Amino acid sequence: MAGYRKLSRTSSQRKALLRNQVTALLENGKIVTTEAKAKEIRRIAEHLIALAVREKDNFETVTVTAKVARKDKDGKRLKEVVDGKKVTVYDEVQKEIKKDSASRLHARKQMNRVLYTVKEVPAAGAGKKKNTKTVDVAQKLFDEIAPKYADRNGGYTRIVKIGPRKGDAAMEVLIELV
């Protein structure tokens, strides 16, 4: 018996499909798909959540000094004339950042190997490239999902049968985070 379902696809198509569905599940919390796909998605998603739960507190907070360009009311950089040249004016700012330990960094890299980057478009600025922002799903795993499941030993997803699909009578299911 094989260790995984082939889903009637080549290996590259299958990997792309599963990566896409796992990313959508972790971003949205639930998706509707077929039963066979859901069982494969569950394997991958539960592994990623377990990684995040294990490494959720494995970082240190560090204060760093950063140079940030001073901006005017319109959000444009302020320029100052020095020796006949226009030079951007910078301010020094203290920032606190999270510095991952080696094991958490490794877990993040393993997650990013599976997850796609997600572009989020706000409803107000739809159709404008400038208003899009990228969502770090791995960071969402560490910050939002892992603390929710910290005291749970596996079983992070639930599969609920919806019924047969109209076109081909494939069993449709709802897979969601518990």
Report pLDDT digits (tens) over 32-44. 999 999 999 999 9
Tell me the mean pLDDT in the region 134-141: 93
All CATH 3.90.1030.10 domain ranges of the chain, comma separated, are 11-58+101-177
Cα gap 43→159, rounded to integer Å: 12
Name the CATH topology of 11-58+101-177: 50s Ribosomal Protein L17; Chain: A, (3.90.1030)
Q: What pLDDT, on a 0 to 100 scale, did the predictor assign at position 74?
A: 84
Tell me the mean pLDDT in the region 2-26: 94
How confident is the model over 84-125, as pLDDT tens digits? 888 998 999 999 999 999 999 999 999 999 999 998 887 776
Q: Is the pLDDT of residue 1 over 90?
A: no
Per-position b or e across 53-83, b if 16+ CB within 10 A of its CB: bebbeeeeeeeeeeeeeeeeeeeeeeeeeee
- Report DSSP state, residue 5: -
Secondary structure (DSSP) of 101-157: -HHHHHHHHHHHHHPPPEEE--STTTT-GGG-EEE-HHHHIIIIIHHHTTT--S--E
Global pTM exceeds 0.85: no
Long-range contacts of 116-120 (CB under 8 A, 24+ apart): 116/19, 116/20, 116/23, 118/23, 118/27
How confident is the model over 138-153, as pLDDT tens digits? 999 999 999 999 999 9
Closest CA to 108 of 144, 137, 149: 137
Helix (H) or strand (E) holding 33: strand 30-34
Model confidence at 126, pLDDT cuts 50, 70, 90, reads low
Q: What pLDDT, on a 0 to 100 scale, did the predictor assign at position 110?
A: 96
Q: SS3 sequence, 34-96?
A: EHHHHHHHHHHHHHHHHHHHHHCCCEEEEEEEEEEECECCCCCECEEEECCEEEECEEEEEEE
Q: What pLDDT, on a 0 to 100 scale, did the predictor assign at position 127?
A: 66
* Mean pLDDT score of the chain: 92
Tokens 């609920």 found at: 160
Q: Nearest 5°: CA angle at 163, between 17 and 167? A: 65
